[in-house]
Structure 1
């Protein structure tokens, strides 16, 4: 009979120890339990070879809440680096569990747990310990339709592992990163991997949402609430009920509207404009921004309590310049996409074209790369995409302008330069300046550009 390994379960709740022992006994040769984490070093150095540890994140005699779990994870890895550790955590401590993954834990299980999920997680972790783990996940990923391309960059591979774990939960996620780095694509991938995948993901561009339409768009309205309200209308929160709500450009939301958003998130309900009846909603919230919300909190332009609500899990996308090994693979994906869209015959990249693509700074990131490939597909002739099919702005030859005397003059000139360099492409201009499209439109109108 094949060995099934020895499991150590450490939790200060004795009823949990008993329940877990009964549940997992058929799946392990032996289960050792301990309510005291201070016994961990002695057990690991004992005669019995521990293969796997299920470790609680909080103990009544803990160092400081969930951080004690991270401390003991570190100690376990020092004593027996090969032992796999699964963290046992309450929902409120998911962010600590995610940190634990980064520090070497194999996985985490959220309390209250699903029995089948706990068994599956522990068996998978044991397979990692014994080298029996198969590379199913990568193969399944490649076969799934519309899955996200993660590339070969190590930072993105680590992010991939993290996303596959947190996507299973309903924890609110904040995605930060520069414009054009794929924040919305990442949000869609999280939804696709979640338990809400059968329901829809509803996206809202907060940067393009005017203050007068905010409540109506997000919370809905009833007939007669205002002049053009001819019928009842559900808002985005209701549309996303049982699914995922993605709020892009969350950093552009004005301070007083942040309070209204916070109320809806806290109450898990919305009140339509013109009504007094709360409507319960069940959503998974994902927000994204290219701005530094922590700095905005310090400046008093973003509510700290709202940041805590949306920031249960924080992930950051990488700029394309930090993942050069992925430029050509991305280019080939976009090449296939636009050859198909424009009914073009098969083409490949000439070596000179690949070199040119790898030399670009890609300030607009993946979005700028995609736009460049699309344009090259349209104008190219023959069976290859040549270097001459790409036209990039000569950034080093920006015209020298007289020194601006005010911040407004400086801003106006920056926008003019960006418009010239991007050949009037407003999406690229917004990306380059690090502002939303709506903000760009407002500034163009203000400066009469």
Structure 2
């Protein structure tokens, strides 16, 4: 469903322009395209545009291949409030990181993932609209709520954010661990530098060193030029390692060496490179128990666990359910141009009674689906049936009768997702809010 945003795509590959016209046309009201940046500034003087997707390399040899950085500077000089997303090849991530330092809002890597591309562009538009329109609140910032557990957590975060100490964030899936990591980065002295995120469950064992430490040209068959890794990309800023509990034991020693020495060696090189990072890790697993089972190195746990922050599940902070639901309702009503300003009484009761095993992520997806499917409702109140929470009472009773471990709940959620998606791993991973590789790892771990 198209939203009222306009986008300009600048790329010298006409087949890419054609593909993006089809893809983005379903999400943007207007999709403009240029095969050369030469006429870009003049077009922007005439047209209202919410975001520019700018390729980093064009056929004209401006600035020795760094054309994207040159034209980024031109855009920021003439249109300082216009967000720019850089479009770059996988090997040019180092240039993209430099672009972030010079004012780019984000970057997308070629070959791109359609869903990720759309998410990045819409998020950038939403964030920019929020900055310029205080009435348009998009809930992408940390919501602390009113519970005692979250008040204590906020106090800890405010104390540790101003330091450079390593942080370990634990909590169930969907509790907002990455959002908390971004909050820490925003409050830290490193906020002007990038925060680089890595899903450790999505990195294959063979690409681990290249992805985190980089490689030099010729290090292996496809290494056609030097490439910086995530450690170097985060230099001066924050490195966020999500799903740290999924890292195989034999790779943990390599990570420990880099974290301990604050230097890395690119694959194919013998030259150590110093890195200045603040490390934040996150997991939904019990790392202490994994240490006992010899699945996680105790010395690595000590290194990443200087400060331990735990995010409580949503069912343990029920006073935050309705305020969060109203935030999401407002956001998605604006996004999809619907007129909802609240819930019926029955809907509020259902929301409070639901166990929310998927936590905030499940609540968010539930509200987005409800807003899309409901259409216009009487008096602008979202009714209970459209939430599809009919089995709340039965599920809540079962939860009270039998306390299940986190692993049991996770196994059950994966089985249910696979059954509903008829074995389609990509669709199941999307519904669970995890990557396909993470889903593979969990299926293998649980023997499903």
TM-score if structure 1 supplies the norm length? Answer: 0.60
How far apart in 2 are the matches of 1:368 and 1:147? Answer: 17
When Rg is computed on C-alpha atoms for both structures, the one with the higher figure is 1
2:172 counterpart (174, 178, 181)? 178
- Please name the residue that 1:315 is paired with: 309
Question: Are residues 365 and 278 of structure 1, via their aligned partners in 2, closer, same or farther at CA, if it must alter by over 3 Å?
Answer: same
Residue 391 of structure 1 and its aligned partner are, at CA, apart by 1.4
Alpha-carbon offset, residue 441 of structure 1: 3.1
Answer whether contact 1:368 1:428 (CA < 8 A) is retained: no
Runs of 5+ in structure 1 lacking a partner? 1-142, 398-410
Residues 194 and 445 of structure 1: is their aligned pair in 2 closer, same or farther, counting only changes over 3 Å? Answer: closer
TM-score normalized by the length of structure 2: 0.60
How far apart, in 1, do the equivalents of 2:192 and 2:413 lie?
A: 45
Residue 417 of structure 1: how far off its partner (Å) = 3.2
CA contact (8 A) 2:178 2:242 kept: yes
Q: Distance in 2 between matches of 1:369 and 1:361?
A: 10
Deviation at 1:427, TM superposition (A): 4.2
Match of 1:198 in 2: 192
- Partners of 1:238 and 1:318 in 2: CA distance: 33
Are the counterparts in 2 of residues 177 and 318 from structure 1 also a CA contact under 8 Å?
yes
Deviates more, 1:239-248 or 1:416-425: 416-425
Which of 404, 425, 428 aligns to 1:426? It is 428
> Are residues 1:387 and 2:384 paired?
yes
Number of aligned residues: 291
Secondary structure of the residue aligned to 1:164 is helix
- The equivalent residue for 2:280 is 286
Change (3 A) 1:412 1:179: closer
Match of 1:212 among 196, 206, 211: 206
Q: 1:249 maps to which residue? A: 243
Q: Distance in 2 between matches of 1:334 and 1:427?
A: 22
Q: Measure, in 2, the Cα distance between the counterparts of 1:354 and 1:145.
A: 20
CA contact (8 A) 2:201 2:441 kept: no
CA-based RMSD: 2.9
Partner of residue 328, structure 2: 334
Cα separation, 2, equivalents of 1:415 and 1:293: 21
Judging changes above 3 Å, is the alpha-carbon distance between structure 1 residues 163 and 259 closer, same or farther for their aligned structure 2 residues? same
Does the 8 A contact of 2:139 with 2:327 survive in 1? Answer: no
User: Superposition pairs for residues 8-407 of structure 1, below 5 Å?
Assistant: 147-382=141-376, 383-392=380-389, 394=391
Q: Is the 8 A contact 1:422 1:428 kept in 2?
A: no
**Structure 1 CA distance, aligned partners of 2:278 and 2:143?**
23
Match of 1:297, SS? helix
- CA drift at 1:438: 2.2
CA contact (8 A) 2:139 2:331 kept: no
Q: How far does the alpha carbon of each residue in 1:98-155 deviate from its partner, in whole angstroms, 9 at most, with x for none?
A: xxxxxxxxxxxxxxxxxxxxxxxxxxxxxxxxxxxxxxxxxxxxx9995411000011
The answer for unaligned runs of 5 or more in structure 2 is: 1-136, 396-409
SS in 1 for 2:270: coil
- Say whether the 8 Å CA contact 1:208–1:436 is kept in structure 2: yes
Distance 1:393 1:420 in 2: 20
Matched residues in 1 for 2:288 and 2:335: separation?
41
